[in-house]
Structure 1
Amino acid sequence: MLQSSLSRQAMVLDEVRTIIWESDPTGQQLTNATGCCTALLGCNADDWYRPGYWQSRIHADDRDSVLIEFQENIRRHQDHRLEFRMIRVDDSVVWVENAIKVIVDNGDVVAMRGALVDITDRKRLEHELRQSQKMEAVGRLAGGIAHDFNNVLTVISTYAELMHGRLDVTDENLRFVEAISTAADRATSLTHQLLVFSRKSLHHKEFLDLNKIVSESESLLRRVIGEDIVLITQLAGELGKIRTDKTHLEQVILNLALNARDAMPSGGRLTLTTREVEIEIGSDELAPGRYAELTVADDGVGMDSDSMLHCFEPFFTTKPIGSGAGLGLSVSYGVVSEAGGSIRVDSELGTGTTFGILLPIVDSPDTQLTASTPSLDNQARVVVLVEDEPGVRKVARMALEVNGFSVLEAESGPAALQFAAQPLLAIDLLVTDLVMPGMSGQELSRNFRKQIPNLPVLFISGFGQSTELGVSVENPLDSFLQKPFTANKLIEAVNAAITDT
């Protein structure tokens, strides 16, 4: 009976990866050890009884601080807990918690007892949570910066376009205006990437076949990675549909391929693999269910642990100055997260890098409809323009008036409501910023429609449509225009919004 009970106890300790131990007063020599003595470090059970063995397996970076605290608590006769890393026989790292009780008799330490528990999984989850929280905070910062810059770029781009239209083709100032427009376009590309990372960009989601996306990308990838790199694709026989922005997903694949190319300056192998994965137990990042997995693996120089820790952060790069903005992986992180998936990296210096992407498989409809937008005569069209940023409001009004619209402008939602209460104005369209202090664009549109039920609305924003912001354009009377925009893009969006109604 006793033997059976001890066997069950040993089995339980092994399953929870715990060692119950006793030692001499110094803690150097274990006198008893029960539990996962072999499984924890991969050593022989008898090794634990060697003097100083467990201390010798403490990670070099932790050893001094752990032993100092250990000896200090013995001196104080104080029970304590220590968390530290240990090195297994195969040189892999395991996190442990050592809960220690100091046994005292007549004022002297006579023994030590404790439980050494494997907490590697807990530490991994804590790290993933911290990383997720950090990326969320960086994303909010990046999105806010991009939003502010998009307001500035809207003013620059629109004025440049209006000025361009007033100059003769022979005017020597034309080249300066074109240079301004080109610089604004480059800046717009950067802010767009920041918004993608922060998951506040405009996404055109559609149902996609991951295998088809990878296959269609092959010819482009072969051109950009060079002839000294062998491209291999290993596609699953059949995958369910995923739902995300096609252009953004293609950009993710290209970003990862370019990173792999740079990691293989002397050539190598780049392998893209797809398969279906079933997640049975969910996590903070992924819900249980079916996922399509894409892995992108190279046999290049690899990354160290610090680079893996920071590689998805905006502007982090190990490349020389001028060789990249450090946004490729952060954009990829944003695209995958927006699609409800996850992206991970496994790498080791000298052996290569593997990126793994999981995207949820969803049910797709059989057909998707598209519509075209005709042009119209703008004369006598009345537009209410609501924008809290003075520079954007001024240049948007100018662009609308130059194109024949009558404009009623307001700097806030409450200020604009006066126009809704005047039926003689015959308002054709409400153009409003989505995110404004006091009253959002969506709230303003609802108030307008109480007076003008079928009024079309064009939302503009330095952010994109985002469920995180509580912002999405779902009403068929609603349209959306991403900042920064030019005069031509604004007029096209206004015409389309009015025509669709």
Structure 2
Amino acid sequence: MKLLAIDDNQDNLLTLSALLKAFLPEAQLITSQSAQDGIRRAGMEAPDAILLDIQMPGMDGFEAARRLKGSAATQHIPIILVTAHRSDSACRVQGLECGADAFLSKPFDEAELVAQIRAMVRIKRSEDALRQERDSLEALVQRRTAQLSQANVELKENLERLAQSEARYSRAVRGTSDGLWDWDLVSNDYYYSPRWKELLGYADDELENRPETFFTRLHPDDLAPAQDSLCAHFLGQSPFDLELRLRTRGGEYLRVRCRGQAEWDDAGDPLRMSGVITDVTERQLMEEQLRQAQKMEAIGQLAGGVAHDFNNVLTVIAGYANILKMDLPADSANYGLADQIAAAAERAAQLTRGLLAFSRKQAIAPQRCDLGEIVLRVEQFLGRVIGEDIQLRTEILPEPLPVQVDLAQIEQVLINLAANARDAMPGGGVFTIATGLRDGNGRGYGDPAGPHAVIIVADSGEGMDDETSRRIFEPFFTTKEVGKGTGLGMAIVYGIVQQHKGNIKVSSKPGEGTVFTIEIPLVEGGAALQSVLAPQPSPRNGTETILVAEDDPNVRSLVDMVLTRHGYQVILAQDGEEVIHRFAAQQEGIELVLMDIIMPRKNGIEAYAEIKKIQPEAKVLFTSGYTADFIQSRGMEEGVELIMKPVQPMELLRRVREVLER
């Protein structure tokens, strides 16, 4: 143990030292001869007890005790006051008030001295142990408090993250177009998200979260496949992913894709299964559109493959039939036969043009004209199409509707629609054609942007069900008997409208007639509208020399005859190389080159390039029976003069005259 003795009398200190060596040898004594020095040594040495004399100069023992007990470093050290007055109670009271723990009287009694010191040391060490334990407990409490505080902070952060995660999940669930479901296979509890119920036409509180909600709404034919797929999935044999039909609130069946994933326990038994249902109606619509596009492509390839040769044949048939009509008197029996041949050839030509338009491969010749005038022009001969028992009505807007269209193709659209309406009204009825305007504001889903001229074609016929309306524009789809329809009329209408960057819709119900709505973009500004009602004048004869290049001998002979009969001088060539040689030989006298685009040895585009090297101002009029994409692939430039086969003799003469007079 370590003891500190504070006494101004050196003899007293020596006596105390001798006593301690004799009776308390384990004690280490530290001495100080003033109160100030003793206080300093107590702070430095931290003794187990202090023996403090009361009577000392400068600062007595009472004040020293007060200061020692007032310091945090020394307040726990026991103080034994040493006094020469054993029975002075006032002294003892004052000492206790100053913080003294015990008293010794001089001269020292050896037994009392040792007992007091050991008692004070024991008390101090006990108190030190208690303080250490208390401090340890306080430190532990502080650590645990800090840990709990940190845990509380982390818990709050986790709760915030959980709330954010739940909010994100809730937004995702609300925003998704899929319906979510969850099935507890142990308790047989079900959950269906609000979107799941919404897909079937119900509010969230209108359907119970029960297994029957799903299984009783399955289409009867889908119940067994769904159960088989579930069983196979629970056995881990295959994923659960199949298309099903679910009954909606209206009693109809919605086709959905149902997907799910189970969870298994360690024994391999399924515990839970969650998944989604997705409305696949839009996907099916896109698949149908893809099939429609594939059909269109197939028809286009078929039409494009035969167009050239077929148009050459039709050119010859129609050409000679019209020449016969020109040579025969109108009251002749043979004139009627020739007229029938020409009409049949024209119908065949329209069919070919329609097929190419359907596949968007027909080269169109658009002109800027009034859509209302086109309807009035078609009205003149629609009566022969629909028959006498059907009333024809037209409702034309008084203001012009300027459009950029191929006149013949728009006429064909109206004729095909009229023929379709005629077949839908076998007992007669009303056929109406009206024009209108859509300004492009507030348009519905799927409507093209911008102002559009509108043609409304309506009949009071038998109407169509939804399935027929949905398939009306499919190629080869027809509800007519075998031999009474090709199934291409409405498909051709669709293709022509699409080629004009337009849109066509159908609205019909059984017994309530049918309405077709066609929208074609308006054109603003530009040149004045060309009148389509004025009759075409007969072309006048000419005397110019025309170089004709045509590889088909029958067409070449026909063109030679038509031009020669109307005063022209004709030079013939049968391929691209020959037309270049003949032009080079007689370039000064040739005023027009009438040339097929696709020819052997050198095509018309290449031949024309060589001719321009010889005579840059040479005039050329191209002819072709090939498809537009085929012509463009051969380097056809925009702005060149082109007339498509089959071509009527009068139309050929008219175009020749137009090019020559420019």
Instruction: Please report the TM-score for the alignment, with normalisation by the length of structure 1.
Output: 0.77
SS of 1:289 mapped into structure 2: coil
Corresponding residue for residue 440 of structure 2: 278
CA contact 1:18–1:117 (8 Å) conserved in 2: yes
Q: How does 1:160-309 map to 2 (within 5 A)?
A: 160=321, 180-199=341-360, 200-208=362-370, 224=386, 241-246=402-407, 248-265=409-426, 274-276=436-438, 278=440, 288-297=449-458, 300-309=461-470
Query: How far apart, in 2, do the equivalents of 1:328 and 1:19 lie?
Result: 42
1:154 Cα deviation (Å)? Answer: 1.8
2:304 is aligned with 1:139: no
Conserved? CA contact 1:222–1:231, under 8 Å: no
Gapped regions of structure 2 (runs ≥ 5)? 1-159
Q: 1:30 to 1:275 in 2, by over 3 A?
A: farther
Cα offsets for 1:133-168 (capped at 9, x unmatched): 432432342344344321112223334556777889
CA contact (8 A) 1:432 1:457 kept: yes
Once residues 81 and 451 of structure 1 are traced to their aligned partners in structure 2, the CA distance between those partners, rounded to angstroms, is 71
Superposed displacement of residue 58, structure 1: 4.0
Residue 458 in structure 1 maps to residue 621 in structure 2 = yes
Q: Distance in 2 between matches of 1:408 and 1:273?
A: 48
**Shift of the alpha carbon at 1:213?**
5.9
Q: 1:317 aligns with which of 478, 488, 507?
A: 478
Q: CA deviation at 1:375?
A: 3.4
Matched, 1:432 2:595: yes
1:403-438 deviations in Å (ceiling 9; x for gaps): 552323123x34533334446674322222234577
Q: Percent identity among equivalent residues?
A: 32
Measure, in 2, the Cα distance between the counterparts of 1:438 and 1:93: 63
2:264 alignment partner in structure 1: 104
Q: Which residue of 2 aligns with 1:410?
A: 574
Instruction: Name the residue aligned to 1:479.
Output: 641
Tell me how far apart the structure 2 counterparts of residues 387 and 408 of structure 1 sit (CA, whole Å): 8
Distance in 1 between residues matched to 2:506 and 2:270, nearest whole Å: 48
Say whether residues 1:130 and 2:285 are aligned partners.
no
Q: Give the number of the structure with larger relative contact order, counting CA–CA contacts within 8 Å between residues 6 or more apart.
A: 1
Deviates more, 1:63-72 or 1:170-179: 170-179
Contact 1:78 1:102 (8 Å CA) reproduced = no
Secondary structure of the 1:39 match is helix
In the alignment, does 2:387 pair up with 1:387? no
Give the CA RMSD over aligned residues.
4.6
CA contact (8 A) 1:86 1:96 kept: yes
User: SS at 2:647's partner residue?
Assistant: coil
Moved more, 174-183 or 28-37: 174-183
Structure having the higher helix fraction is 2
Query: 2:540 maps to which residue?
Result: 375
Whether the 8 Å CA contact 1:58–1:85 is kept in 2: the answer is: yes
Could you tell me which runs of 5 or more consecutive residues in structure 1 were left unpaired when the two chains were aligned: none
Shift of 1:462: 2.0
Native 8 Å contact 2:308 2:625 kept in 1: yes
Whole-angstrom distance in 1 between the partners of 2:322 and 2:522: 43
The answer to whether residue 183 in structure 2 is matched with residue 19 in structure 1 is no
**Secondary structure of 2:211's match?**
coil
Residue 113 of structure 1 pairs with residue 277 of structure 2: no
Asked if the contact 1:401–1:407 (Cα under 8 Å) also holds between the matched residues in 2, the reply is no
SS at the partner of 2:207?
helix
Give the total of aligned pairs: 491
What per-residue deviation string (whole Å, max 9, x for no partner) do you get for residues 309-348 of structure 1? 5422455432345655544323321321121012233444
Structure 1 or 2, whichever has the larger Rg, is: 2
CA contact under 8 A between 1:77 and 1:109: conserved in structure 2?
A: no
Q: Which region of structure 1 is more displaced relative to structure 2, 293-302 or 93-102?
A: 293-302
Amino acid in the other structure paired with 1:72: A
Equivalents in 2 of 1:113, 1:329: separation in Å? Answer: 47
Correspondence for 2:195: 36
User: Per the alignment, in what secondary structure is the counterpart of residue 493 of structure 2?
Assistant: helix
Cα deviation for residue 41 of structure 1 reads 0.2
- Say which is worse superposed, 130-139 or 432-441, in terms of deviation: 432-441
1:245-271 Cα shifts (integer Å, max 9, x gaps): 345435434543553454345667767
1:329 aligns with 2:490: yes
Partners of 1:164 and 1:220 in 2: how far apart? Answer: 21
Shift of 1:277: 5.5
TM-score, with length taken from structure 2: 0.61
Q: Which moved more, 1:297-306 or 1:219-228?
A: 219-228
**Are the counterparts in 2 of residues 386 and 432 from structure 1 also a CA contact under 8 Å?**
yes
